[in-house]
Amino acid sequence: MLEPVTGRYALAIPPALAGLIDPADPNDPITRQFLPDTRELTPVPGELADPIGDAAHSPVEGIVHRYPDRVLLKLLAACPVYCRFCFRRETVGEGEAALSPAAIDRALAYIAERPGIWEVILTGGDPLALSPRRLAALARRLDTIPHVKILRVHTRMPVAVPDRIDAALIEALKASGKTVYVALHANHPRELTPAACAACDRLIDAGIPMLGQTVLLRGVNDDVQTLATLMRAFVEARVKPYYLHHPDLAPGTAHFRLSIEEGQRLVAGLLGRVSGLCQPIYVLDIPGGFGKTPIGPNRLRPGKAGTIEIEDWRGNLHAYRPG
């Protein structure tokens, strides 16, 4: 019954995540994220094959240059696990997995020729699916580009294949000579297992700070308690919550999407209830390639006689007169 879905979109679930699935729960949030659903074959109006406009900002293969001071470097189209809501689901898991040596040459030349590029963000697919040898080779080439100061890596590997985060991989990342950050994608607190947290420890203890990224998903984390537990779990693992993404308009993902108003209510529910360390930035990646914008709830409104009314975390309004 699911063969048409897996014939259209890639499927892979490593043991670390497969072991979290509760077969007795038809609404299990891990199942929902990773097992195919026939609804994926029914796109709705407004969904887009390239929802965040990668193609419109790709001057050379592998590069997405949407913002002045940073670029994405999409090294490969393979992942250890394929999320059913992925915004790149039309391109990951198909064809040649990794950029060719010639394409990497062109991508690195593009970066080297533009001194305004301060940060390179490795993405894909999952860049940590590459071997340490290939990662180290790329990192050493980035080390020769002096205006690049930051190397950021977006990955699910610590939760998907925790043992992959070993000394060889960490040394490969540090071979860049840059300040390295690793951004971990996790959407439910059950993903942050002891093994996943130990993988994060190995990165952090090696001097690589970590950020947390989460997609707001119906049936997975669309309640305040689950979000609060997840954000606290990130912080307890020394991973700073960074972005809470509103789900993108990828084809066949309507069953995951909430309205922005629902998302704003959930984010408002976190305020005051969890530490400031646990507060992510709620963002929307504007369709068409126009970049991310914060869309959190507005706590300010015009008041009387030159004042501003400010809503506190309990929902009470307070007059504030600007100085």
User: What type of residue is 200?
Assistant: C
Establish whether 285 is a catalytic residue.
Answer: yes
Strand 291-294 relative to strand 281-286, pairing: antiparallel
Per annotation, catalytic residue among 141, 174, 292, 299:
292
Per annotation, catalytic residue among 9, 28, 54, 66:
66
Per annotation, catalytic residue among 50, 83, 84, 243:
83
Strand 281-286 relative to strand 239-245, pairing: parallel
Establish whether 273 is a catalytic residue.
Answer: no
Per annotation, catalytic residue among 74, 88, 178, 257:
88
Q: Label residues 64-89 b or e (16+ Cβ within 10 Å = b).
A: bbbeeebbbbbbbbbbbbbbbbbbbb
Going from the C-alpha of 78 to that of each of 74, 88, 211, the distances in angstroms are 10, 11, 22
Establish whether 243 is a catalytic residue.
Answer: no
Establish whether 248 is a catalytic residue.
Answer: yes
User: What type of residue is 112?
Assistant: A
Per annotation, catalytic residue among 79, 197, 200, 278:
79
Per annotation, catalytic residue among 82, 86, 89, 278:
86
Q: How far apart are CA 150 and CA 184, in angstroms?
A: 16
- Write down the H helix ranges in the chain: 3-8, 15-18, 29-34, 101-112, 132-142, 157-160, 167-174, 194-205, 224-236, 260-270
Per annotation, catalytic residue among 37, 67, 232, 240:
67
Pair of tokens at residue 111: 């970066």
Establish whether 37 is a catalytic residue.
Answer: no
Could you check whether the bond before residue 125 is cis, i.e. omega within 30 degrees of 0?
Answer: yes
Establish whether 66 is a catalytic residue.
Answer: yes
Beta strands, E only, the chain = 63-67, 70-74, 119-123, 150-155, 179-185, 210-215, 239-245, 281-286, 291-294, 300-302, 308-311, 317-320
Establish whether 67 is a catalytic residue.
Answer: yes
Establish whether 88 is a catalytic residue.
Answer: yes
For residue 282, the SS3 value is: strand
Per annotation, catalytic residue among 8, 37, 39, 70:
70
Per annotation, catalytic residue among 82, 200, 248, 278:
248
Catalytic residues: 66-67, 70, 79, 83, 86, 88, 248, 285, 292
